[in-house]
Homo-oligomer: A and B are copies of this chain.
Amino acid sequence: MSTDVVALLRAELGDRVDVRPAALDAARADKSGHAAPGLPLAVVHAASVADVQATLRIASATRTPVVPRGAGTGLAGGANTGGGEISLSVRGMDRVLEVRPDDLLAVVEPGILNADLNAQLEPHGVWWAPDPASRAISTVGGNIATGAGGLLCAKYGVVRDAVLGVDLVLADGRLLHLGHRSVKGVTGLDLTSLVIGSEGTLGVVVGATLKLRRLVEGERVTLTALFDDVRTAAVASAEVTASGAQPAIMELMDATSLAAVHRLLSLPAPPPGAAQLTVQTDGPVAAAEARAIADVLRAVGGIVTVAADAAEGEALLAVRRAMHPAMETLGTTLIEDVSVPRSALPDMFDAIARIERRFGLVIPAVAHAGDGNLHPNFVFDGPKIPPVVWEAAEELFRAALTLGGTLTGEHGIGVLKRRWLADELGDDQWRLQRDIARVFDPLGILNPGKVFAP
């Protein structure tokens, strides 16, 4: 049977069907640290919409599971492909088909990297705002499939706010054009939004009409504020939000994170226990806004450093950007992704400290403090996530839900969080969501075992 599937794929797609052991093995994992059991049947490197349609027609005819894939940078295992499954890569479909600065839209293929897209848009004076930390290595299609966020979201929105339409190939190979090219449009149900964040369970995104913004004019002003402890830093960030200031970036690093990054970058060690906010303002009143924010931060006890120029600003931001490599120096990490209302940020950091003590773990955390999205990093030894980390993660999820938050702000459910999905949604909504997915994919061949695993 599995040989038949590969033969059928080969007959239609030729050498775009890849069964080299290294390619099959690479398709098992994303950047979550988790890999699917078994080896995929094949990796299909789709070069066109027709390739995607052909793959899905064969998959439907043979009831073979298909896992759509971009650059494989996900953090929830959503693109991991296991035994008996086809990995369907759209990474090679990476053209920008149209840029309309006058209409503030672009039409793109899904495999283009977020950063490459923005490099192509810049000469037109426009940009696509979603900026996941992975933007240099993650695709627009993957950003759409996960409903990605990033650092700039409190001011400039998440993926959901930046997509006008998607072209979707259904499980049976039919192509649908969802959404519209106009700013407004309410014709029927908003299936575009339904596809955003659906993690490959509804269809394969083969094209997108993106909502662009004009490049922000004026200077950028960057500042940091050092606080005695993480709770004070969290309170300070909430005060900034409550003051009405609208920083483009407001990132919080707790003591362990900050110390690890300073070590990695050979910077002087920060005071023990100290946590840091990194803030950037932009636009026509950037300087005045930075001054006002600095005043708020000082009033809460922050030691504020304002960058003198753009280069110094980049140096301040580099500390935050080095978070991920710094974590890798501590051990293996499970990067979590809870999100809470902004005012609950101090309480959420208290909860993390409690969980660290209770489970004897180190959980360095950064937060997109402007929007209440935290990334606690569970650090452990060895390649496999130990049970105690999952127990602690479960406590983390429960704490976030209790504070009015959610399991995942921007990474998605994938395989890593599927067992807690019903805890947040409730059983009735869980079943409703699964039944909606079945309308798109009655045979259940699209990314089975992800998100709605039983």
Contact = CB atoms under 8 A, between A and B. Distances in A.
A234 B163 CA distance: 25
A160 B433 contact: no
A405 B181 contact: yes
A184 B372 contact: yes
Contacts of A268: none
A430 interface: yes
Nearest to A238: B102
A413 interface: yes
A149 interface: yes
A181 B404 contact: yes
Given A176-B428, A413-B187, A436-B436, A341 B105 contact: yes
A139 to B, nearest CB: 17
A424 B185 CA distance: 11
A76 to B, nearest CB: 10
B435 A340 contact: no
A339 B182 contact: yes
Contacts of A426: 176-177
B343 A184 contact: no
Interface in A239-255: 241-242, 244, 246
A100 to B, nearest CB: 7
Given A188-B430, A432-B439, A182 B244 contact: no
B186 A147 contact: yes
Contact of A343 (B100, B238, B413, B428): B100
Most buried by B among A153, A342, A432: A432
Interface in A146-182: 146-147, 149, 153-154, 157-158, 160-161, 170, 174, 176-178, 180-182
A188 B451 contact: yes
Interface stretch (A56-64, A190-198, A293-301, A381-389): A190-198
A429 B439 CA distance: 11
Q: Copy number of this protein in the oligomer?
A: 2
A311 interface: no
Contacts of A398: none
Contact of A373 (B157, B183, B244, B342): B183
A336 interface: no
A186 B191 contact: no
Interface in A43-89: none
Given A100-B341, A188-B430, A372 B182 contact: yes
Given A182-B371, A406-B185, A409-B184, A160 B193 contact: yes
Contact of A187 (B178, B190, B425): B425
B406 A189 contact: no
A407 B100 CA distance: 22
Contact of A191 (B177, B412, B433): B433
Contact of A405 (B182, B373, B410): B182
Interface in A178-232: 178, 180-191, 193-194, 196-198, 202, 214, 217
Given A343-B103, A405-B180, A186 B242 contact: no
Nearest to A409: B184
Contacts of A154: 183
A185 B408 contact: yes
13 contacts: A101-B242, A102-B238, A102-B343, A147-B190, A182-B339, A182-B371, A182-B409, A183-B409, A184-B406, A186-B411, A187-B413, A191-B433, A435-B439
